[in-house]
Structure 1
Amino acid sequence: MARSKGNTGNWLMTYSDMVTLLLVFFVLLYVLTPGVDQSVFDNFISYFQSSIGVMEQPATISSRGDQIEEVRDEIAAEWIDFSDFLEQHGLSSHVEIENTDDGIKITLSDSLTFNSGSAELLPAAQIVLAEIAGVFGESVSFTEVQGHTDDVPISQNSFFISNWHLGAARAVSVVEFVRDRSILAPDMFKASSFGEYRPVAPNTTPEGRRQNRRVEIYVSYARMVEINQNVSPFLFDFAEPGETQ
Protein backbone atom coordinates (compact mmCIF):
# COMPACT_ATOMS: atom_id res chain seq x y z
CA MET A 1 0.00 0.00 0.00
CA ALA A 2 1.16 3.54 -0.74
CA ARG A 3 2.69 5.59 2.03
CA SER A 4 2.07 9.25 2.62
CA LYS A 5 4.95 11.57 3.40
CA GLY A 6 5.27 12.95 6.92
CA ASN A 7 4.71 16.64 7.56
CA THR A 8 7.70 18.85 8.23
CA GLY A 9 7.88 20.89 11.43
CA ASN A 10 9.67 23.99 10.09
CA TRP A 11 6.74 26.23 10.99
CA LEU A 12 7.29 25.47 14.69
CA MET A 13 10.34 27.75 14.76
CA THR A 14 8.27 30.75 13.69
CA TYR A 15 5.52 29.82 16.13
CA SER A 16 7.91 29.51 19.09
CA ASP A 17 9.54 32.85 18.21
CA MET A 18 6.13 34.52 18.21
CA VAL A 19 5.25 33.06 21.62
CA THR A 20 8.59 34.21 23.05
CA LEU A 21 8.14 37.74 21.72
CA LEU A 22 4.65 37.96 23.19
CA LEU A 23 5.97 36.88 26.59
CA VAL A 24 8.74 39.50 26.46
CA PHE A 25 6.20 42.15 25.45
CA PHE A 26 3.95 41.50 28.45
CA VAL A 27 6.91 41.29 30.83
CA LEU A 28 8.04 44.74 29.66
CA LEU A 29 4.54 46.14 30.12
CA TYR A 30 4.48 44.82 33.65
CA VAL A 31 7.95 46.13 34.48
CA LEU A 32 7.11 49.61 33.20
CA THR A 33 3.96 49.80 35.30
CA PRO A 34 4.41 52.46 38.05
CA GLY A 35 4.58 51.17 41.61
CA VAL A 36 5.93 47.70 40.87
CA ASP A 37 8.65 46.87 43.44
CA GLN A 38 11.39 44.27 43.07
CA SER A 39 9.64 41.57 45.11
CA VAL A 40 6.49 41.74 42.97
CA PHE A 41 8.61 41.60 39.84
CA ASP A 42 10.53 38.57 41.14
CA ASN A 43 7.27 36.79 41.95
CA PHE A 44 5.98 37.58 38.47
CA ILE A 45 9.05 36.10 36.79
CA SER A 46 8.96 33.09 39.11
CA TYR A 47 5.34 32.46 38.18
CA PHE A 48 6.10 32.35 34.48
CA GLN A 49 9.17 30.19 34.98
CA SER A 50 7.29 27.63 37.05
CA SER A 51 3.78 27.63 35.63
CA ILE A 52 3.93 28.27 31.92
CA GLY A 53 5.53 25.61 29.86
CA VAL A 54 5.02 23.36 26.98
CA MET A 55 3.51 20.16 28.32
CA GLU A 56 5.19 16.96 27.33
CA GLN A 57 3.41 15.63 24.28
CA PRO A 58 2.67 11.99 23.52
CA ALA A 59 4.58 12.44 20.28
CA THR A 60 6.59 15.18 18.59
CA ILE A 61 5.95 16.00 14.96
CA SER A 62 8.82 13.82 13.79
CA SER A 63 8.08 10.89 16.10
CA ARG A 64 4.39 11.08 15.17
CA GLY A 65 5.36 10.51 11.56
CA ASP A 66 7.43 7.52 12.63
CA GLN A 67 4.51 6.16 14.63
CA ILE A 68 2.18 6.51 11.66
CA GLU A 69 4.60 4.63 9.42
CA GLU A 70 5.00 1.92 12.05
CA VAL A 71 1.25 1.42 12.46
CA ARG A 72 0.68 1.48 8.71
CA ASP A 73 3.30 -1.23 8.30
CA GLU A 74 1.48 -3.29 10.93
CA ILE A 75 -1.85 -2.75 9.16
CA ALA A 76 -0.33 -3.66 5.80
CA ALA A 77 1.04 -6.88 7.31
CA GLU A 78 -2.46 -7.83 8.44
CA TRP A 79 -3.75 -7.53 4.85
CA ILE A 80 -0.92 -9.31 3.03
CA ASP A 81 -2.75 -12.64 2.98
CA PHE A 82 -5.88 -10.92 1.65
CA SER A 83 -3.90 -9.27 -1.15
CA ASP A 84 -2.37 -12.64 -2.02
CA PHE A 85 -5.85 -14.17 -2.05
CA LEU A 86 -7.05 -11.56 -4.54
CA GLU A 87 -4.11 -12.19 -6.86
CA GLN A 88 -4.49 -15.97 -6.69
CA HIS A 89 -8.16 -15.75 -7.65
CA GLY A 90 -7.77 -13.05 -10.29
CA LEU A 91 -9.75 -10.50 -8.30
CA SER A 92 -7.14 -7.76 -7.90
CA SER A 93 -8.73 -5.66 -10.64
CA HIS A 94 -12.04 -5.65 -8.75
CA VAL A 95 -10.72 -4.71 -5.29
CA GLU A 96 -8.56 -1.70 -4.38
CA ILE A 97 -6.87 -1.16 -1.01
CA GLU A 98 -5.37 2.19 0.02
CA ASN A 99 -4.29 4.09 3.13
CA THR A 100 -6.48 6.63 4.91
CA ASP A 101 -5.78 8.87 7.91
CA ASP A 102 -7.39 6.39 10.30
CA GLY A 103 -6.64 3.08 8.58
CA ILE A 104 -7.50 1.75 5.14
CA LYS A 105 -10.16 1.99 2.46
CA ILE A 106 -11.30 -1.02 0.44
CA THR A 107 -13.14 -0.30 -2.81
CA LEU A 108 -15.22 -3.08 -4.37
CA SER A 109 -16.28 -2.71 -7.99
CA ASP A 110 -19.91 -3.01 -9.03
CA SER A 111 -19.20 -5.96 -11.33
CA LEU A 112 -17.98 -7.96 -8.33
CA THR A 113 -20.69 -7.09 -5.85
CA PHE A 114 -24.17 -6.65 -7.36
CA ASN A 115 -26.25 -7.08 -10.48
CA SER A 116 -27.74 -3.93 -12.01
CA GLY A 117 -30.39 -2.38 -9.77
CA SER A 118 -29.98 -5.10 -7.12
CA ALA A 119 -28.78 -5.10 -3.51
CA GLU A 120 -28.27 -8.87 -3.33
CA LEU A 121 -24.62 -9.82 -3.01
CA LEU A 122 -23.14 -11.89 -5.82
CA PRO A 123 -21.33 -15.14 -4.91
CA ALA A 124 -17.93 -13.64 -5.77
CA ALA A 125 -18.63 -10.69 -3.46
CA GLN A 126 -19.55 -13.03 -0.64
CA ILE A 127 -16.23 -14.86 -1.00
CA VAL A 128 -14.26 -11.60 -0.89
CA LEU A 129 -16.26 -10.16 2.01
CA ALA A 130 -15.80 -13.36 4.01
CA GLU A 131 -12.04 -12.93 3.61
CA ILE A 132 -12.30 -9.30 4.71
CA ALA A 133 -14.31 -10.28 7.79
CA GLY A 134 -11.60 -12.77 8.69
CA VAL A 135 -8.94 -10.04 8.71
CA PHE A 136 -10.87 -7.83 11.14
CA GLY A 137 -9.23 -8.11 14.56
CA GLU A 138 -9.37 -6.37 17.92
CA SER A 139 -7.26 -3.50 16.57
CA VAL A 140 -10.16 -2.38 14.35
CA SER A 141 -12.17 0.33 16.10
CA PHE A 142 -14.86 1.15 13.52
CA THR A 143 -15.99 0.23 10.00
CA GLU A 144 -18.12 2.34 7.67
CA VAL A 145 -19.54 0.96 4.42
CA GLN A 146 -20.60 3.48 1.76
CA GLY A 147 -22.78 2.68 -1.23
CA HIS A 148 -22.23 4.66 -4.45
CA THR A 149 -24.08 4.56 -7.78
CA ASP A 150 -23.93 6.16 -11.20
CA ASP A 151 -26.40 8.86 -12.28
CA VAL A 152 -28.68 6.61 -14.32
CA PRO A 153 -32.21 7.05 -12.91
CA ILE A 154 -33.86 4.11 -11.18
CA SER A 155 -36.36 2.30 -13.40
CA GLN A 156 -40.04 2.77 -12.60
CA ASN A 157 -40.58 -0.89 -11.74
CA SER A 158 -37.60 -1.00 -9.37
CA PHE A 159 -37.98 -1.86 -5.70
CA PHE A 160 -35.89 1.23 -4.91
CA ILE A 161 -37.20 4.75 -5.43
CA SER A 162 -33.83 6.47 -5.90
CA ASN A 163 -30.10 5.84 -6.26
CA TRP A 164 -29.74 6.92 -2.64
CA HIS A 165 -31.98 4.06 -1.57
CA LEU A 166 -30.14 1.61 -3.81
CA GLY A 167 -26.75 2.69 -2.43
CA ALA A 168 -28.03 2.43 1.14
CA ALA A 169 -29.45 -1.06 0.59
CA ARG A 170 -26.17 -2.23 -0.90
CA ALA A 171 -24.20 -0.81 2.03
CA VAL A 172 -26.52 -2.55 4.49
CA SER A 173 -26.12 -5.85 2.63
CA VAL A 174 -22.34 -5.60 2.97
CA VAL A 175 -22.49 -4.58 6.64
CA GLU A 176 -24.80 -7.43 7.59
CA PHE A 177 -22.72 -10.00 5.73
CA VAL A 178 -19.41 -8.87 7.25
CA ARG A 179 -20.84 -8.34 10.73
CA ASP A 180 -22.14 -11.91 10.88
CA ARG A 181 -18.68 -13.27 10.02
CA SER A 182 -16.37 -11.03 12.04
CA ILE A 183 -15.53 -10.62 15.72
CA LEU A 184 -16.62 -6.96 15.71
CA ALA A 185 -19.72 -5.88 17.63
CA PRO A 186 -22.70 -4.56 15.63
CA ASP A 187 -22.22 -1.04 17.00
CA MET A 188 -18.80 -0.90 15.32
CA PHE A 189 -20.41 -0.81 11.87
CA LYS A 190 -22.10 1.96 9.93
CA ALA A 191 -23.89 1.80 6.57
CA SER A 192 -24.33 4.96 4.50
CA SER A 193 -25.16 6.00 0.95
CA PHE A 194 -24.11 8.87 -1.28
CA GLY A 195 -26.10 7.63 -4.26
CA GLU A 196 -24.84 9.28 -7.43
CA TYR A 197 -23.41 12.36 -5.68
CA ARG A 198 -19.81 11.29 -4.98
CA PRO A 199 -18.60 10.22 -8.43
CA VAL A 200 -14.95 9.32 -9.01
CA ALA A 201 -15.28 9.58 -12.79
CA PRO A 202 -17.52 11.39 -15.29
CA ASN A 203 -20.86 9.69 -15.86
CA THR A 204 -20.65 10.50 -19.57
CA THR A 205 -19.12 7.15 -20.58
CA PRO A 206 -19.92 3.51 -19.74
CA GLU A 207 -16.47 3.13 -18.15
CA GLY A 208 -17.00 6.21 -15.98
CA ARG A 209 -20.38 4.97 -14.81
CA ARG A 210 -18.85 1.57 -14.06
CA GLN A 211 -16.22 3.19 -11.82
CA ASN A 212 -18.88 5.17 -9.97
CA ARG A 213 -20.91 2.05 -9.15
CA ARG A 214 -18.91 0.87 -6.17
CA VAL A 215 -18.88 0.02 -2.47
CA GLU A 216 -16.27 1.62 -0.21
CA ILE A 217 -15.32 0.08 3.13
CA TYR A 218 -13.49 2.41 5.54
CA VAL A 219 -11.69 0.51 8.30
CA SER A 220 -10.48 2.59 11.26
CA TYR A 221 -7.77 1.37 13.63
CA ALA A 222 -7.63 2.48 17.26
CA ARG A 223 -3.91 3.30 17.21
CA MET A 224 -4.20 5.45 14.09
CA VAL A 225 -7.15 7.35 15.55
CA GLU A 226 -5.22 7.92 18.79
CA ILE A 227 -2.14 9.22 16.98
CA ASN A 228 -4.20 11.62 14.85
CA GLN A 229 -5.97 12.99 17.92
CA ASN A 230 -2.63 14.05 19.46
CA VAL A 231 -1.52 16.51 16.79
CA SER A 232 -1.30 19.80 18.74
CA PRO A 233 2.37 20.84 18.89
CA PHE A 234 1.93 23.03 22.01
CA LEU A 235 -0.32 22.84 25.04
CA PHE A 236 0.22 25.52 27.70
CA ASP A 237 -0.48 24.54 31.28
CA PHE A 238 -1.20 27.40 33.69
CA ALA A 239 -0.55 26.02 37.18
CA GLU A 240 -0.13 27.69 40.51
CA PRO A 241 3.44 28.85 41.28
CA GLY A 242 5.50 26.03 42.77
CA GLU A 243 3.31 23.24 41.39
CA THR A 244 5.06 20.61 39.32
CA GLN A 245 4.00 20.02 35.76
Structure 2
Amino acid sequence: MAKKKKKVLCEEMPPWLITFTDCMTLMLTFFVLLVSMAKVDERRKLIVLGSIIGTFGWHDKSYEVFSRKDTRRTVEPGPIDSGDLEPLKPLMWENAEDDLRFESNRFVQVLSVNADVLFAPASATLTPDGVALLDRIAPVLLRAQYPLLIAGHTSELRDELGLNYEPGDDERVPDLSWKLSLNRALAVYRHMLDAGMPADMLRLEGFGKYLPKAPQTNAENRRLNRRVDIVLDKRSLRMGQEVRELAPDRVPADDGTFDVDGFIFDLNRPGG
Protein backbone atom coordinates (compact mmCIF):
# COMPACT_ATOMS: atom_id res chain seq x y z
CA MET A 1 0.00 0.00 0.00
CA ALA A 2 1.34 3.37 -1.02
CA LYS A 3 2.28 5.73 1.76
CA LYS A 4 0.03 8.81 1.98
CA LYS A 5 1.73 12.12 1.48
CA LYS A 6 1.86 14.22 4.60
CA LYS A 7 -0.08 17.50 4.24
CA VAL A 8 1.99 20.66 4.48
CA LEU A 9 0.22 22.98 6.90
CA CYS A 10 1.96 26.15 5.80
CA GLU A 11 3.88 27.06 2.78
CA GLU A 12 7.13 28.89 2.87
CA MET A 13 6.63 32.56 3.98
CA PRO A 14 7.49 35.17 1.31
CA PRO A 15 10.47 37.41 2.23
CA TRP A 16 8.44 40.63 1.96
CA LEU A 17 5.98 39.38 4.57
CA ILE A 18 8.78 38.91 7.09
CA THR A 19 9.89 42.51 6.63
CA PHE A 20 6.29 43.76 6.87
CA THR A 21 5.73 41.77 10.08
CA ASP A 22 8.89 43.18 11.63
CA CYS A 23 7.79 46.74 10.79
CA MET A 24 4.35 46.18 12.28
CA THR A 25 5.88 44.72 15.43
CA LEU A 26 8.18 47.70 15.82
CA MET A 27 5.29 50.14 15.33
CA LEU A 28 3.18 48.29 17.87
CA THR A 29 6.05 48.40 20.36
CA PHE A 30 6.50 52.13 19.72
CA PHE A 31 2.83 52.96 20.36
CA VAL A 32 2.68 50.75 23.45
CA LEU A 33 5.71 52.65 24.76
CA LEU A 34 3.97 55.99 24.08
CA VAL A 35 0.84 54.87 25.93
CA SER A 36 2.88 53.64 28.87
CA MET A 37 4.64 57.02 29.10
CA ALA A 38 1.36 58.97 29.04
CA LYS A 39 0.11 60.06 32.42
CA VAL A 40 -3.68 59.86 32.69
CA ASP A 41 -5.52 61.71 35.42
CA GLU A 42 -7.97 59.03 36.51
CA ARG A 43 -10.20 61.47 38.35
CA ARG A 44 -10.71 63.63 35.27
CA LYS A 45 -11.26 60.57 33.10
CA LEU A 46 -14.01 59.31 35.41
CA ILE A 47 -15.69 62.72 35.55
CA VAL A 48 -15.71 63.03 31.76
CA LEU A 49 -16.97 59.47 31.32
CA GLY A 50 -19.61 60.03 33.99
CA SER A 51 -20.79 63.17 32.23
CA ILE A 52 -21.20 61.36 28.92
CA ILE A 53 -23.03 58.38 30.40
CA GLY A 54 -25.07 60.59 32.71
CA THR A 55 -26.17 62.77 29.82
CA PHE A 56 -26.95 60.12 27.20
CA GLY A 57 -27.86 57.37 29.68
CA TRP A 58 -26.95 53.71 29.58
CA HIS A 59 -29.87 51.84 31.10
CA ASP A 60 -29.49 52.02 34.86
CA LYS A 61 -25.73 51.74 34.96
CA SER A 62 -23.18 54.36 35.87
CA TYR A 63 -19.63 54.74 34.59
CA GLU A 64 -18.94 51.73 36.80
CA VAL A 65 -20.33 49.44 34.10
CA PHE A 66 -20.60 46.36 36.32
CA SER A 67 -22.55 48.21 38.98
CA ARG A 68 -26.36 48.40 39.13
CA LYS A 69 -26.20 51.25 41.62
CA ASP A 70 -27.09 54.62 40.11
CA THR A 71 -23.91 56.60 40.61
CA ARG A 72 -24.09 58.61 37.40
CA ARG A 73 -22.67 62.11 37.51
CA THR A 74 -23.50 64.87 35.09
CA VAL A 75 -20.94 67.65 35.18
CA GLU A 76 -22.61 70.92 34.26
CA PRO A 77 -20.38 73.66 32.86
CA GLY A 78 -20.10 76.53 35.32
CA PRO A 79 -19.08 80.15 34.88
CA ILE A 80 -15.42 80.79 34.27
CA ASP A 81 -14.25 83.23 36.90
CA SER A 82 -10.60 83.85 36.15
CA GLY A 83 -10.58 87.43 37.42
CA ASP A 84 -9.30 88.75 34.08
CA LEU A 85 -10.64 89.48 30.58
CA GLU A 86 -10.20 85.98 29.11
CA PRO A 87 -13.97 85.20 29.18
CA LEU A 88 -14.46 88.02 26.66
CA LYS A 89 -12.57 86.12 23.95
CA PRO A 90 -15.70 84.40 22.54
CA LEU A 91 -17.06 87.85 21.66
CA MET A 92 -14.30 88.15 19.07
CA TRP A 93 -15.80 85.22 17.12
CA GLU A 94 -19.18 86.94 16.98
CA ASN A 95 -17.86 90.23 15.57
CA ALA A 96 -16.79 89.47 12.04
CA GLU A 97 -16.43 93.16 11.20
CA ASP A 98 -13.51 93.65 13.60
CA ASP A 99 -15.45 95.92 15.97
CA LEU A 100 -13.71 94.19 18.87
CA ARG A 101 -10.09 93.13 19.23
CA PHE A 102 -8.42 91.23 22.04
CA GLU A 103 -4.66 91.15 22.64
CA SER A 104 -2.83 89.67 25.59
CA ASN A 105 0.50 88.55 26.94
CA ARG A 106 1.67 87.24 30.29
CA PHE A 107 0.79 90.41 32.20
CA VAL A 108 -1.41 92.65 30.05
CA GLN A 109 -4.78 92.10 28.37
CA VAL A 110 -6.33 94.71 26.08
CA LEU A 111 -9.91 94.73 24.80
CA SER A 112 -10.19 97.32 22.00
CA VAL A 113 -13.70 98.52 21.15
CA ASN A 114 -14.09 100.47 17.93
CA ALA A 115 -15.31 104.00 18.70
CA ASP A 116 -17.77 103.85 15.79
CA VAL A 117 -19.70 101.21 17.77
CA LEU A 118 -19.79 103.28 20.94
CA PHE A 119 -20.21 106.84 19.66
CA ALA A 120 -21.60 108.86 16.80
CA PRO A 121 -19.03 110.83 14.74
CA ALA A 122 -17.49 113.76 16.65
CA SER A 123 -19.52 112.76 19.71
CA ALA A 124 -18.69 111.56 23.23
CA THR A 125 -22.23 110.35 24.00
CA LEU A 126 -22.79 106.60 24.01
CA THR A 127 -25.10 105.27 21.32
CA PRO A 128 -27.75 102.61 22.11
CA ASP A 129 -25.52 99.99 20.44
CA GLY A 130 -22.61 101.18 22.58
CA VAL A 131 -24.67 100.93 25.76
CA ALA A 132 -25.81 97.42 24.79
CA LEU A 133 -22.22 96.31 24.16
CA LEU A 134 -20.95 97.70 27.47
CA ASP A 135 -23.84 96.05 29.31
CA ARG A 136 -22.88 92.78 27.66
CA ILE A 137 -19.26 92.88 28.79
CA ALA A 138 -19.94 94.48 32.18
CA PRO A 139 -20.37 91.16 34.12
CA VAL A 140 -16.83 90.12 33.15
CA LEU A 141 -15.37 93.54 33.98
CA LEU A 142 -17.12 93.56 37.36
CA ARG A 143 -15.32 90.31 38.28
CA ALA A 144 -11.87 91.70 37.40
CA GLN A 145 -9.37 91.31 40.23
CA TYR A 146 -7.07 94.02 38.88
CA PRO A 147 -7.70 97.74 38.22
CA LEU A 148 -8.81 98.51 34.67
CA LEU A 149 -7.53 101.39 32.56
CA ILE A 150 -10.07 102.94 30.18
CA ALA A 151 -8.03 104.62 27.45
CA GLY A 152 -9.56 106.75 24.70
CA HIS A 153 -7.92 107.05 21.27
CA THR A 154 -8.87 108.99 18.15
CA SER A 155 -7.73 109.21 14.55
CA GLU A 156 -6.82 112.38 12.68
CA LEU A 157 -8.98 115.32 13.68
CA ARG A 158 -10.23 115.91 10.10
CA ASP A 159 -11.65 112.34 10.15
CA GLU A 160 -13.18 112.74 13.59
CA LEU A 161 -14.91 116.08 13.03
CA GLY A 162 -15.90 115.59 9.40
CA LEU A 163 -17.78 118.60 8.08
CA ASN A 164 -17.31 120.35 11.42
CA TYR A 165 -13.55 120.48 10.89
CA GLU A 166 -12.17 123.97 10.41
CA PRO A 167 -8.66 125.15 9.48
CA GLY A 168 -6.68 125.72 12.64
CA ASP A 169 -8.44 123.03 14.71
CA ASP A 170 -5.20 121.02 14.75
CA GLU A 171 -3.35 123.91 16.40
CA ARG A 172 -5.84 124.53 19.18
CA VAL A 173 -4.69 124.15 22.79
CA PRO A 174 -5.59 121.87 24.43
CA ASP A 175 -5.56 119.55 21.44
CA LEU A 176 -9.12 118.72 20.38
CA SER A 177 -8.30 115.07 19.68
CA TRP A 178 -7.03 114.68 23.26
CA LYS A 179 -10.19 116.28 24.66
CA LEU A 180 -12.45 114.08 22.49
CA SER A 181 -10.63 110.89 23.48
CA LEU A 182 -10.74 111.82 27.17
CA ASN A 183 -14.48 112.59 27.05
CA ARG A 184 -15.15 109.27 25.32
CA ALA A 185 -13.17 107.39 27.94
CA LEU A 186 -15.05 109.34 30.61
CA ALA A 187 -18.40 108.28 29.10
CA VAL A 188 -17.38 104.60 29.36
CA TYR A 189 -16.03 105.24 32.86
CA ARG A 190 -19.34 106.71 34.04
CA HIS A 191 -21.32 103.86 32.49
CA MET A 192 -19.18 101.31 34.32
CA LEU A 193 -19.69 103.18 37.59
CA ASP A 194 -23.46 103.03 37.02
CA ALA A 195 -23.12 99.28 36.36
CA GLY A 196 -21.63 98.83 39.85
CA MET A 197 -17.89 98.95 39.20
CA PRO A 198 -16.01 100.36 42.23
CA ALA A 199 -14.33 103.67 41.40
CA ASP A 200 -10.98 102.50 42.80
CA MET A 201 -10.93 99.68 40.22
CA LEU A 202 -10.99 102.08 37.26
CA ARG A 203 -8.37 104.39 35.74
CA LEU A 204 -8.96 106.93 33.02
CA GLU A 205 -6.73 108.34 30.28
CA GLY A 206 -7.04 110.06 26.92
CA PHE A 207 -4.32 109.73 24.27
CA GLY A 208 -5.96 111.58 21.38
CA LYS A 209 -4.36 110.85 18.01
CA TYR A 210 -0.89 110.30 19.45
CA LEU A 211 -0.89 106.51 19.97
CA PRO A 212 -2.26 105.12 16.69
CA LYS A 213 -2.56 101.37 16.27
CA ALA A 214 -1.94 101.61 12.52
CA PRO A 215 -0.44 104.26 10.18
CA GLN A 216 -2.94 107.02 9.34
CA THR A 217 -2.55 106.37 5.63
CA ASN A 218 -6.01 105.11 4.68
CA ALA A 219 -9.58 105.13 5.94
CA GLU A 220 -9.48 101.56 7.28
CA ASN A 221 -6.39 102.23 9.38
CA ARG A 222 -7.88 105.43 10.73
CA ARG A 223 -11.01 103.49 11.67
CA LEU A 224 -8.86 101.07 13.68
CA ASN A 225 -7.28 104.00 15.50
CA ARG A 226 -10.67 105.31 16.68
CA ARG A 227 -11.10 103.10 19.71
CA VAL A 228 -11.52 102.77 23.45
CA ASP A 229 -9.11 100.32 25.06
CA ILE A 230 -9.97 98.51 28.27
CA VAL A 231 -6.61 97.47 29.68
CA LEU A 232 -6.02 94.98 32.46
CA ASP A 233 -2.45 94.97 33.77
CA LYS A 234 -1.76 92.28 36.35
CA ARG A 235 1.16 94.34 37.63
CA SER A 236 -0.97 97.43 38.28
CA LEU A 237 -2.42 96.29 41.61
CA ARG A 238 0.94 96.56 43.39
CA MET A 239 1.88 99.71 41.47
CA GLY A 240 -1.45 101.34 42.33
CA GLN A 241 -0.93 100.69 46.01
CA GLU A 242 2.51 102.30 45.85
CA VAL A 243 1.13 105.37 44.03
CA ARG A 244 -1.63 105.80 46.61
CA GLU A 245 0.89 105.66 49.43
CA LEU A 246 3.09 108.32 47.81
CA ALA A 247 0.40 110.64 46.41
CA PRO A 248 -0.83 113.58 48.52
CA ASP A 249 -4.48 113.67 49.49
CA ARG A 250 -6.61 115.72 47.09
CA VAL A 251 -10.10 116.84 48.06
CA PRO A 252 -12.61 118.21 45.52
CA ALA A 253 -13.41 121.91 45.91
CA ASP A 254 -16.80 123.07 47.19
CA ASP A 255 -17.94 124.00 43.68
CA GLY A 256 -17.52 120.42 42.42
CA THR A 257 -14.26 120.98 40.54
CA PHE A 258 -11.11 118.93 40.93
CA ASP A 259 -7.64 120.45 40.52
CA VAL A 260 -4.86 118.08 39.39
CA ASP A 261 -1.57 119.87 38.79
CA GLY A 262 -3.27 122.89 37.25
CA PHE A 263 -5.84 120.93 35.21
CA ILE A 264 -9.38 121.72 36.38
CA PHE A 265 -11.95 118.94 36.03
CA ASP A 266 -15.61 119.85 36.49
CA LEU A 267 -17.30 116.82 38.05
CA ASN A 268 -20.77 118.30 37.66
CA ARG A 269 -20.73 119.01 33.93
CA PRO A 270 -21.30 116.10 31.46
CA GLY A 271 -18.20 115.48 29.38
CA GLY A 272 -15.83 116.84 32.06
Query: Could you state the TM-score of these two structures normalised by the residue count of structure 2?
Result: 0.47
Written as runs of structure 1 = structure 2, the 5 A alignment for 1:129-144 is 129-144=134-149
- Deviation track 1:163-193 (CA, whole Å, cap 9, x = no partner) reads 00000000000111122113x3112212111
Does the aligned pair in 2 maintain the 1:105–1:217 contact within 8 Å?
A: yes
Aligned residue number for residue 176 of structure 2: 162
**Which of the residues 173, 194, 209 maps onto 1:180?**
194
Does the aligned pair in 2 maintain the 1:201–1:212 contact within 8 Å?
A: yes
1:123 maps onto 2:128 in alignment: yes
Does the aligned pair in 2 maintain the 1:133–1:178 contact within 8 Å?
A: yes
Written as runs of structure 1 = structure 2, the 5 A alignment for 1:54-133 is 74=82, 79-80=86-87, 82-85=88-91, 87-88=93-94, 90=95, 93-133=98-138
Residues 85 and 206 (structure 1), Cα distance of their counterparts in 2 relative to 1, 3 Å cut: closer
Residues 111 and 221 (structure 1), Cα distance of their counterparts in 2 relative to 1, 3 Å cut: same
Residues 140 and 156 (structure 1), Cα distance of their counterparts in 2 relative to 1, 3 Å cut: farther
Displacement, 1:98? 1.9
Aligned residue number for residue 216 of structure 2: 203
Instruction: Give the unaligned 5+ runs of structure 2.
Output: 1-80, 239-272
Aligned residue number for residue 205 of structure 2: 192
Displacement, 1:115? 1.5
Displacement, 1:146? 0.8
Inter-partner Cα distance in structure 2 for 1:91 and 1:181: 27
CA RMSD of aligned residues (A): 3.1
Instruction: Give the unaligned 5+ runs of structure 1.
Output: 1-72, 227-245
Residues 178 and 139 (structure 1), Cα distance of their counterparts in 2 relative to 1, 3 Å cut: closer
**Secondary structure at the residue paired with 2:231?**
strand
Inter-partner Cα distance in structure 2 for 1:175 and 1:84: 23
% identity of equivalent residues? 25
Does the aligned pair in 1 maintain the 2:150–2:203 contact within 8 Å?
A: yes
Query: Could you state the TM-score of these two structures normalised by the residue count of structure 1?
Result: 0.52
- Deviation track 1:55-94 (CA, whole Å, cap 9, x = no partner) reads xxxxxxxxxxxxxxxxxx9457x643x4445545x46721
**Secondary structure at the residue paired with 1:195?**
coil
Dislocated runs of 4+, deviation >3 Å: 73-76, 82-88, 100-103
* Structure of greater Rg: 2
